[in-house]
Amino acid sequence: MQKAKMSAGSEAANSRKRVAQAAGRSTTEADVTRQIRDVLKACRIFHWKQWQGPMSQPKGVSDILGIYEGKLLAIEIKRPGREPSDDQREFLARVNAQGGIGFWADNVSTVIKTLGLQVKLTPLFHQRGGGA
């Protein structure tokens, strides 16, 4: 009986450790995408998440597409520390060459700066429990 209590206590400790590790996990591309889309929504910028698959054409289409100030908006999203592939860079170059706004971002600040948005980050992200 005593052994079972110790084991249950150890399990609870391990569970708390896993939760703490999850809370301190590194930022994922999905996290960055959510933060960027929250800002775009707050600024009422028409956009959508472009879902890609192995059969998608053309290759390298950006993660977020939309229209901003009458121009095609293309944002390639990466988690911090990653960069776009050659196909993704080519897609962004083609968007820019045709007068659109194409860039890649690994954080929400890049989007705010590139688009010249006026946003207060703290209140916006407290709603989701995330950080700015």
**CATH code for position 112:** 3.40.1350.10
Residue 115 falls inside a structural domain? yes
Residue 1 falls inside a structural domain? no
Cα 122 from Cα 132, distance rounded (Å): 6
CA distances 38 to 22, 68, 78, 128, Å, are: 22, 15, 16, 10
Residue 101 falls inside a structural domain? yes
Which of 74, 66, 78, 79 lies closest to 103, judged by CA? 74
Residue 92 falls inside a structural domain? yes
Q: What is the pLDDT of residue 51?
A: 87
**Domain enclosing residue 70, as ranges:** 27-126
Query: Residues 96-107: what's their mean pLDDT?
Result: 98
Residue 121 has pLDDT above 70, yes or no: no
Residue 82 falls inside a structural domain? yes
The domain total for the chain is 1
Q: What is the pLDDT of residue 22?
A: 52
